[in-house]
Structure 1
Amino acid sequence: MIEIERKFLVKSKTFLDDYTRCNRIVQGYLSSSPERTVRVRIKGENGYLTIKGKSNESGLSRYEWEKEIPITEAEQLLQLCEKGVIDKTRYEVIVGTHVYEVDVFTGENDGLILAEVELNSEEESFEKPEWLGEEVTKDNRYYNSYLSKNPFKTW
Structure 2
Amino acid sequence: MTVRRRFLLTPSFVRLIRRERGGLPHLEGFFPEQQDRSSWVCLEEETGWLILKTVGPHGEIEDQTEIPVSHAHALLDVCAGKVDSIRTVLPIGEGHALVDEIVRPRALHLVTVEFASDREARGFRPLEWFGPEVTADPRYTHQSIALRGLDDEPEIPLSNAALNSLIDTLDGRFLAQVRVSSNRPKAKQVPVTRAKAQTREETVKANLDEIEAAMMREMEKALRKGKPV
User: TM-score when scaled to structure 2?
Assistant: 0.58
Question: Does the C-alpha gap of structure 1 residues 86 and 17 become closer, same or farther in structure 2, counting only changes over 3 Å?
Answer: closer
Partner of 1:120: 116
Instruction: Establish whether residue 43 from structure 1 lines up as the match of residue 40 from structure 2.
Output: no
- Looking at secondary structure, tell me which structure has more strand per residue: 1
Instruction: Establish whether residue 30 from structure 1 lines up as the match of residue 31 from structure 2.
Output: yes
**Cα distance in structure 2, aligned partners of 1:47 and 1:54:** 23
- Select the residue among 131, 135, 145 that pairs with 1:147: 145
**Cα distance in structure 2, aligned partners of 1:142 and 1:62:** 18
- Select the residue among 75, 78, 96 that pairs with 2:93: 96
Contact 1:5 1:117 in 2 (8 A): yes
Residues 55-66 of structure 1: matches in 2 within 5 Å? 62-66=60-64
**Cα distance in structure 1, aligned partners of 2:26 and 2:84:** 6
Greater relative contact order structure (CA < 8 Å, 6+ sep)? 1
- Looking at secondary structure, tell me which structure has more helix per residue: 2
**Cα distance in structure 2, aligned partners of 1:54 and 1:139:** 18
Partner of 1:80: 78
**Cα distance in structure 1, aligned partners of 2:35 and 2:137:** 13
Contact 1:47 1:70 in 2 (8 A): yes
The count of aligned residue pairs is 148
Q: Secondary structure at the match of 2:128?
A: coil
List alignment gaps of at least 5 residues for structure 2: 153-229
Shift of residue 53 of structure 1? 2.2
Contact 2:28 2:83 in 1 (8 A): yes
Bigger radius of gyration among the two: 2
Which string of whole-angstrom CA distances, capped at 9 and with x for unpartnered residues, describes residues 35-72 of structure 1? 21110111111111001124989xxx621111110000
- Choose 132-141 or 5-14, whichever is displaced more: 5-14
Q: CA RMSD in A?
A: 2.4
Instruction: Establish whether residue 3 from structure 1 lines up as the match of residue 38 from structure 2.
Output: no
Question: Does the C-alpha gap of structure 1 residues 56 and 137 become closer, same or farther in structure 2, counting only changes over 3 Å?
Answer: farther
List alignment gaps of at least 5 residues for structure 1: none
Contact 1:95 1:129 in 2 (8 A): no
User: TM-score when scaled to structure 1?
Assistant: 0.83
